[in-house]
Amino acid sequence: MAGILAWFWNERFWLPHNVTWADLKNTDEATFPQAEDLYVACPLAFCIFMIRLVFERFIARPCALGLKIQANGPQKAQPNAILEKVFTAITKHPDEKRLEGLSKQLDWDVRTIQRWFRQRRNQEKPSTLARFCESMWRFTFYLYIFTYGVRFLKKTTWLWNTRECWYNYPYQPLTVDIHYYYILELSFYLSLLFSQFTDIRRKDFLIMFLHHLATITLITFSYVNNMARVGTLVMCLHDAADVLMEVAKMANYAKCQRLCNLLFVMFAMVFISSRLGVYPVWILNTTLFESWEIVGPYPSWWVFNLLLILLQFLHSFWSYLIVKIACRAISRGKVGKWNPLHVSKDDRSDIESSSDEDNGPPPIQKHYNSTTNGTNKAHGTNGYLSAGAPCPDEH
C-alpha cells in the first residue's frame, strides 16, 4: 500500500519541476492545500443530505402546496402478478409480439396492457411535488453558493487579471474563503452522488452519476495541486446558469407559463454565452496559454487541461440540446405560448403523457380480437403508443 501511495503521489506528476510536497507543507507563515483537508467533505455531504430532507419537508413542500402543486403521484397500475413479473424480470417496454402473447394469456386487449405498462413505469417516477421540492433545494443551494462566490471573487486579484492565478504558483497560500468554497462545493456534489442511490431511480442514472463523478474529480484535482484560484473561477461560472435552470423548472412545475418561458430564455442566454463564450476565452485561455507562459507544462497540467477541454465539448453538446429544445418548442407551440421545458419535460423525470381515458382503471377483462390487433399495428404499438391516444412528448 505504501508503494501504491508513493506511486500515486509522485511529485513529478503532480507538481512543477523542482517543487516537492515538502515545499507545500503548512507553516506558521502560510497554509497550503493538503489532500487530507478534503476528508471533511464526506461527513459534511451527509449533513447536507440531511439538511436537504428537512428543507424539502418543511420549506419546499409547503411552498409547493401553496402553489397548488398536486401532492399525489401518478395513478398506480392495477395489481397483476403476470404483468408485474414481466415488468420486473424481463422488460419494461414490451414489443408487439410480447404484447400479443400477454393479451391472449390474460384475455386483455393490447391497448389495456400498454396502458398498464405505462402506468407501471410512471409509478417509479417522482411526482411533480417531489420534483419541485428537489429543484427548490438545488436552486437555494446554487443561489447561495453563487452569491458567495461572486462576493468572494470580486475582492480577489485573479478575477480581474487571470494571470494572477499563476504568479508564484504553486506557492500560493490557501485562504479561509477558498477552503470554505471548495469544501462546500465538493460536499454538495458528494451529497448529490449519494442521493442518487436513495432517490427514485431515473433513466439517466448512469449519465448523472458520471457527471457528478467528473465534477468531484475536477474539484479534488484542482485543490490537491493548488490550482484553486482558477478552480474558483470555473465553479462560479458554472453555478450562474444552474440557478436559472432550477428556478425555470420550478416555474414549469407550478404551471407559471410566462415566467417559465422568460426564465428559460434567460437560462439559455446565460448558459450559451458563459460556456461557449466566457469559458473558452477566459478560463481555457488562462489554463492553456497564460499558465504555459508563466509556469510551464508538467504531467498533471496536461491532465487538468485535458479535463477542461473535454468539459468544453460537453458545453457545446448541451448548448446544442438547449437550442434544439427551444426550436422544437417554437415549432410545436403557438406564437407566444411555447413552453420549452414542457417539450424537454426535464428530459429525465417527467411522466409520459397519456390520453384522458388512461385516468380510469383498466377493465378487468376485455376480449382480444383481430380488429383491435389491426388498429394497434397501424398505430405502431411499442409500449408507449396506444391506439387513439396521443403520442408522448419525445425526449
pLDDT at residue 354 greater than cutoff 90? no
pLDDT at residue 371 greater than cutoff 50? no
Q: Which residue has the higher pLDDT, 363 or 104?
A: 104
Please give the pLDDT value at position 73. Answer: 65
> Cell for 150?
461572486
Domain ranges of the chain: 30-66+128-334, 81-124
* CA distance readout (Å), 392 to 200, 249, 327, 395: 21, 19, 18, 9
Of 115, 99, 112, 114, the C-alpha closest to 364 is 112
Please give the pLDDT value at position 90. Answer: 87
Q: Is 207 exposed, middle or buried (0-12, 13-18, 19+ CB in 10 A)?
A: exposed
| Model confidence, pTM | 0.79
Q: Which spans in 203-298 are helix H?
A: 205-224, 228-253, 257-273, 285, 291-294
Across residues 384-390, what is the average pLDDT? 33
Pairwise CA distance, residues 57 & 368, whole Å: 46
Q: Which residue has the higher pLDDT, 107 or 284?
A: 284
Q: For 4-62, what is each residue's pLDDT tens digit?
A: 988 999 999 999 999 999 999 999 889 999 999 999 999 999 999 999 999 999 999 99
Q: What percent of the chain has pLDDT over 90?
A: 57
Buried b (16+ CB within 10 A) or exposed e, 312-341: eeebeeebeebeebbebbeeeeeeeebbbb
Q: Which CATH code fits 81-124?
A: 1.10.10.60
pLDDT at residue 284 greater than cutoff 70? yes
Q: What percent of the chain has pLDDT over 70?
A: 83
Q: For 296-313, what is each residue's pLDDT tens digit?
A: 999 999 999 999 999 999
Going by the DSSP 8-state scheme, the letter that residue 5 receives in this structure is H
The DSSP annotation for 89-147 comes to: HT-SS--HHHHHHHHHHHT--HHHHHHHHHHHHHHTS--HHHHHHHHHHHHHHHHHHHH
As a whole number of Å, the CA-based R_g of the chain is 26
